[in-house]
Amino acid sequence: MGEALVIAVDPAAAAPLIGDAIAAAAGAGGHRVEMMIPYLVHVTLPIGAELPGRAGSLNRLREAAVEAMWAQGVSGRAEVVPCRTLSTLLAALEAPARIVLIGSPDRQLRRTLNRIPAGLITIPTRPRRQQARRLHRRPAAQLGPTAPAGPVRR
């Protein structure tokens, strides 16, 4: 029986997704689940700085994770962890048996995860179709009317 790590990459994750992530992390092996909700602190602020609006929304995620663990009978804990980047946070941890991400990791986080010898499960928070539509709402460049043909006055 090992330990599994759940990381909420997307702070707007819904409670059902958190329950699914905890179930995937626990798996059939009955892993102990550690839920980490990263609180990214800007480099100009002290690491213990808290912004009131962000802390409240992250605490709601933590409460949803605790309720999901209790409902599923999974042992573990959920906590909000202040950090500068997710990559430095993961580099400081011991490698768990399994890592479950809620949301889509950026390039730096994917590179860090490739160095950790653990099973990786990613649960996307938005369907791919919505992401593709969002990209095509605005054109990449807007072209104005064509220049008039003829001599240019200076």
10-residue stretch averages of pLDDT, the chain, 154 residues long: 82 86 83 87 80 77 91 90 86 84 87 85 72 56 62 67
Structural domain spans, the chain = 28-95
With 0.75 as the threshold, say if the pTM is over it: no
Helices 52-72 + 15-26 axis angle, to 10: 50
For residue range 16-37, what is the model confidence (pLDDT) as tens digits? Answer: 889 999 998 888 777 789 999 8
Find the angle CA(5)-CA(10)-CA(13) to the nearest 5 degrees.
90
